[in-house]
A and B are shown apart, each in its own frame.
Chain A
Amino acid sequence: MSTSSAVLSVEIGMSLAQFQLECSFRADSEVVVLFGASGAGKTSVLDCIAGFRAPRHGRIALGERMLFCSERGVNLPVRQRHIGYLSQQPALFPHLSVRQNVEYGLLDQPRPERDARVGSILERFGIAALAASRPAAISGGEQQRVALARTLVREPQLLLLDEPLTALDLRLKSLLLEAIFDWQRERAVPLLYVTHDQTEAYSLSRRVLVMEMGRVVADGEPRQIFSAPFSRERAALSGYENILDAVVVETHSALGTMTCRVAGTALLLESPLANKAAGEAVCLALRAGDILVATSRPSGISARNLLSGRIRVVEDCAGMVELRVRSAAGDGPETEFRVHITRGALQNLGLETGQAVWLIIKTHSIQFLRN
């Protein structure tokens, strides 16, 4: 079987429940992280490449092979795509032993070759001792290793990993990642790794594609992507409910923080340090779910921003409660914060309109936007 590296090129469009997916990118024999919030369309893209669903239009090619092309009416069945797919669930065949699971994808190969390949991959992933066990009898980490061996033993020309290690503990995770990346380096095939975890996206690869609402909105090195301030539009799309104009009052480079005053008020917020000077205008973004509410002034707390305010509106949204809280410094002009809490918290604290509350905001939950 050929293991020559093939370039993956994707250019697809389809309607999803929430939005229109329009996505195009290329991947060489490299590790590419597909990063985005859940529901951004990452898994749909993977499913289209693997062949589990068909986009409405576009084309997907792997090297010379056309996997999907709406113009030419090509839609290669999953079984002919020769792509390795691994998701969070190992999906091992429960009635087959570990060895039978691993050799499942090689049943067309002559017996001696099949045995040799299965034997060597079982050794490589340290599961040779489990060969006769049933999946139910081995641990979650071992199951995922078996699933990986079962996928890789076929020498796929492309590897798709959909948050495959989310359920595992850190030590197991790093061991498996090492095994996967070693394999990728040897075979030099493209590897797409889907995650919604920013830390993972940072550490896994030198190339990250950021997906939002079915579109690739950024493509590049993780450091450059994640430190770049993003636009107001993107902040609103990514679920930053509070966007505040502010002015830098003072920078504390030794502490890594700055003090900002919310524009038009005397309200001061401590934010992470940014490349700004005192007096400069900035734009701050804050998720409604990142603000805590207390009914009395908290003490002995590490959060640096404690604001007193009054509840103006209590609104029941899907699955949670949105509070609109007006806050001001002293008798100065007010500004309004949107705060998300659970129904349980609302009942527990007995919150209602007009009530005085304290808002607690961690310094690092404040993000800067591009002005």
Chain B
Amino acid sequence: MISPLLLSLKLALVTSCLLFVVGLPLAWWLAFTGFRLRFLVESVIALPIVLPPTVLGFYLLLEFGSRGWLGAFWQRFTGHTLAFSFEGLVLGSVIYSLPFAVQPFTAALAAVDRRLLASSASLGASSWRTFWRITFPLAFPGIVTGFALSFAHTLGEFGVVLMLGGNIAGRTQTASIAIYDNVQMLDYQAAARQSITLLGISLVLLVAINALNRKRNWRLP
């Protein structure tokens, strides 16, 4: 049986990898679109920052359950519900941590000097090549920041997981829920052990991001 801490790490890793794949194109669109209603899209993406996790979790629970559109669809294909499963937690976390990935991605992509992109195009490069050779490397520190923030944010997730996953040991019991459980059962020692581990991981992660951002600060000529 997988321990709560390992489950949390697995959830965080899968979530931030998915957010990289989903969030990067979204951020690219946000950074370069001339769409006038862009601010609406940005607001929706930012919603999880201000929304109580229980509210988000509640709506996701309805949607992921066998009566929800997505839940029913999922059940037909996999045979089990999306709610109370690891897959459900991943999907919930992707939505919950979306702004923590997309916002740094967007800021980093938008900060790349447009003249460099114009140069790249006039030197014959396709948009694809311009993105991978110029935009992406120059935005790299911000992209790492987004990756690490969504990782750390998912690691500490509590409300959404509780609403969506319940507390099934080895399947949906993450570290933060285990801590809560241990406190409820007055096992302060176990709670302290798990808390200090989470604290350490989060701190190391943030220090690493900041150190990286300090080092990879390209001076523009």
Contact = CB atoms under 8 A, between A and B. Distances in A.
B126 A79 contact: yes
A167 B125 CA distance: 27
A51 B121 CA distance: 10
Nearest to B134: A93
Given A92-B221, A94-B221, A95-B218, A79 B121 contact: yes
Contacts of A85: 118-119, 122
B221 A95 contact: no
B122 A78 contact: yes
Contacts of B116: 91, 93-94
| B contact residues, range | 20 to 34
A79 B121 CA distance: 5
B218 A154 contact: no
B214 interface: no
Tell me which of A78, A82, A108, A150 has the highest count of chain B C-beta atoms within 10 A of its own C-beta: A78
Contacts, number: 68
A83 B221 contact: no
Interface string A317-348: 00000000000000000000000000000000
A337 B134 CA distance: 55
B220 A105 contact: no
A217 interface: no
A282 interface: no
A95 B137 contact: yes
A113 to B, nearest CB: 15
A107 B128 CA distance: 13
A50 interface: yes
B125 A79 contact: yes
Interface residues of A, number: 32
Contacts of A52: 118
Interface string B89-131: 0000000000000000000000001011011111111100100
Contacts of B123: 79, 104-105, 150-151, 154
B161 interface: no
Contacts of B30: none
Contacts of A105: 123-125
Contacts of B152: none
B162 interface: no
Contact of A91 (B115, B133, B138): B115
Contacts of A108: 124
A89 interface: yes
A135 interface: yes
A75 to B, nearest CB: 14
Interface string B32-67: 000000000000000000000000000000000000
Interface of A: 50-52, 77-85, 87, 89-95, 104-105, 107-108, 135-136, 138, 140, 143, 150-151, 154
Given A94-B221, A151-B123, 17 more contacts: A50-B122, A51-B121, A77-B121, A78-B118, A79-B122, A79-B126, A81-B122, A85-B122, A87-B115, A91-B113, A91-B116, A93-B134, A94-B116, A104-B125, A104-B133, A140-B221, A154-B124
| Top 5 A-B pairs, shortest CB-CB distance | A105-B123, A78-B121, A135-B221, A91-B115, A136-B219
